[in-house]
Structure 1
Amino acid sequence: MVFERLFKGRRQSRPAEAVYEAIVAQARHPAFYTDYGVADGFEERFDLLVLHVHLVVRHLTRAGAGDRAQALFDAMFFDMDRSLRAIGVGDMSVGKRVKDMVRAYYGRTAAYDSALQESADDALAVTLHRNIFGADAAAGTAPGEGPSRLARQVRATVAELTAQPVDDIAAGRIRFPDPRSTP
């Protein structure tokens, strides 16, 4: 009985894990780091992952699949917990670090949602510059071509997600636009 409960929950999360794996593959696309100029560090990888997870969560929620969006969110933070443990963060610190990551997720996604409501890419480019190209933004530089191009990629991703059936997305069959083809 106890084992059934443990494994039952695990089986139910597999579709969310497939979605999450597809998103991780997109967020790790080499073009973001080579062509767009995103630094290849832990923070920047996390920020690109947050961006892509949120775009899918946002779409699923708007499409009435809030339970699937929640399962995706849970899969992401289960992975964050597991990853922190794998890199040697002590058990006593993992909970606090994951809590900090959840707060960061909500802060960034609120900024993305606000910027996505604007019709022009300027506000989105500024938000992406601050959150993903943080070192440049902290130095007071204006968004350059990388954040502007990423803003166009985000808009293309939103359009691509909107064109896909929710069941395909929820099964992990997500089509993302190729970041190399965004001008």
Structure 2
Amino acid sequence: MPFSKLFSRTARRRYSADSLYLALVALAREPRFYTELGVPDTVDGRFEMLSLFVYLALRRLRREGEASARFSQELFDTMFADMDQSLRELGAGDLGVAPRIKRMAEGFYGRIAAYDKALEEGAGALVTALSRNLYGTVKPDEAVLARMADIVRQLDGLFAGLPAEALYAGEPHVPLTPVLDGQPAAEGAKI
């Protein structure tokens, strides 16, 4: 019997969601977001950056319809289980974690709605959404906001071009360096 048959479909899906989540965390930790683009290098800023990448993956998976619903839920659950553990490691008490996670999840749903609407409406709306959410605790200059909005539009295009199987396998091929350098990203390049 092949090794993969030893795991249930749910366990394999959970493992793949974990793998995708870790890949998205790696993307969100790109230092240039914090050093060049002014995303606050704080717990909140890192949550916002990670939320943006998880949102882009979920936005891509939405195109698969019901076929991706369980996997998308697994990705969401993985993210918030990690948030729970991180808060506990930062010293939050048991009684304080649940309400904070609830607020974070509600905020995440709000960001999904804001980013969806902004990507549909255009550049000005995306700048506003990024200013309010990603840069909520700081005031970056307009050039930085415009550059970040352009980067988010490019990343949205890159995620849209990913085969669903790459996401299900936890291997999103999203070339950040060319995007951050202002160059078109080569298709199929690795993280």
Shorter-chain TM-score range: 0.7 to 0.9
Corresponding residue for 2:76? 73
Partners in 2 of 1:136 and 1:77 — Cα distance? 25
Contact 1:22 1:174 in 2 (8 A): yes
User: CA offset at residue 85 of structure 1?
Assistant: 1.1
Corresponding residue for 2:134? 132
Pairing of 1:38-117 with structure 2 (within 5 A): 38-64=39-65, 65-117=68-120
Secondary structure at the aligned position of 1:111 is classed as helix
User: CA offset at residue 106 of structure 1?
Assistant: 0.9
Percent identical among aligned pairs is: 40
TM-score between both structures, scaled by the size of structure 2: 0.83
Corresponding residue for 2:3? none
Secondary structure at the aligned position of 2:133 is classed as helix
Secondary structure at the aligned position of 1:106 is classed as helix
User: CA offset at residue 135 of structure 1?
Assistant: 3.0
Corresponding residue for 1:4? none
Where do 5+ consecutive residues of structure 1 fail to align?
A: 1-6
CA RMSD of superposed structures (Å): 1.9
Count how many residue pairs are aligned between Structure 1 and Structure 2.
172
Secondary structure at the aligned position of 1:18 is classed as helix
Corresponding residue for 1:28? 29
Where do 5+ consecutive residues of structure 2 fail to align?
A: 1-6, 184-191
Equivalent position to 2:169, from 155, 162, 171: 171
Contact 1:156 1:177 in 2 (8 A): no
Partners in 1 of 2:159 and 2:91 — Cα distance? 36
For residue 22 of structure 1, what is the amino acid of its counterpart?
A
Partners in 2 of 1:38 and 1:146 — Cα distance? 10
For residue 74 of structure 1, what is the amino acid of its counterpart?
D
User: CA offset at residue 28 of structure 1?
Assistant: 0.9
Corresponding residue for 1:145? 143
TM-score between both structures, scaled by the size of structure 1: 0.86
For residue 16 of structure 2, what is the amino acid of its counterpart?
P
Partners in 2 of 1:175 and 1:157 — Cα distance? 11
Contact 1:112 1:127 in 2 (8 A): yes
User: CA offset at residue 175 of structure 1?
Assistant: 1.7
Partners in 2 of 1:147 and 1:177 — Cα distance? 21
Partners in 1 of 2:11 and 2:92 — Cα distance? 24
For residue 77 of structure 1, what is the amino acid of its counterpart?
F
